[in-house]
Amino acid sequence: MKAEFTAIIEAAPEGGFWAICPEVPGANGQGETIEEAKNSLRQAIELILDDRRADILRGLPEDAIQDKVMIG
């Protein structure tokens, strides 16, 4: 899946950086550099979205149609 998300990055009081994504509640990351914080956030977003997808697919009936939609 390819998509674009917002990364809000701030300096952490103890050093390094932390990042959140407003589009994906619960997605956050941290790192010693901005790039590390972004990579950590990217991994968190992927894990959350994969988990949500797997969770909803478990409850679908066998005859449900699964297709894709493109945004943007």
Q: Rounded mean pLDDT of 29-44?
A: 98
Residue 23 pLDDT exceeds 70: yes
Tally DSSP H helices, then E strands, for the chain: 1, 3
pLDDT tens by residue, 59-68: 899 899 999 8
Q: Work out the number of other CB atoms within 10 angstroms of the CB of residue 21.
A: 19
Residue 17 pLDDT exceeds 60: yes
Q: What's the number of CA atoms in the CB half-sphere (13 Å) around residue 26?
A: 8
pLDDT tens by residue, 37-55: 999 999 999 999 999 999 9
Residue 1 pLDDT exceeds 80: no
pLDDT value, residue 52: 94
Two structure tokens written together for 48: 């959350």
